[in-house]
Amino acid sequence: MNEEFERQQFERWIRSDEFFEERWLRRDSFRGYRYHLVENRWKAWLARSKLSQ
């Protein structure tokens, strides 16, 4: 699986996830994309807005 396909797949998953506000996406250089819980909903909103650009 190439990196671009992986990124698009995760972005589609995020957009379809009604609970995304509880998570944000971080790029981990060793393990690819990993999800992390966040308490600050603004951070989650910011992460989503960056992905949708």
Give residue-wise pLDDT tens across range 1-53.
Answer: 677 887 777 777 767 766 665 555 566 555 555 655 555 666 777 777 777 76
The total number of residues shown for the chain amounts to 53
DSSP the chain: --HHHHHHHHHHHHHT-TTGGGEEEEEETTTEEEEEE-S-HHHHHHHHHHHT-
Query: Taking a C-beta distance cutoff of 8 angstroms, is the pair 34, 6 a contact?
Result: no
Non-local CB neighbours of 42 within 8 Å, separated by 6+ positions: none
**pLDDT computed for residue 1 by the predictor:** 60
* pTM of this structure: 0.33
Contact 23, 49 (CB under 8 A): no
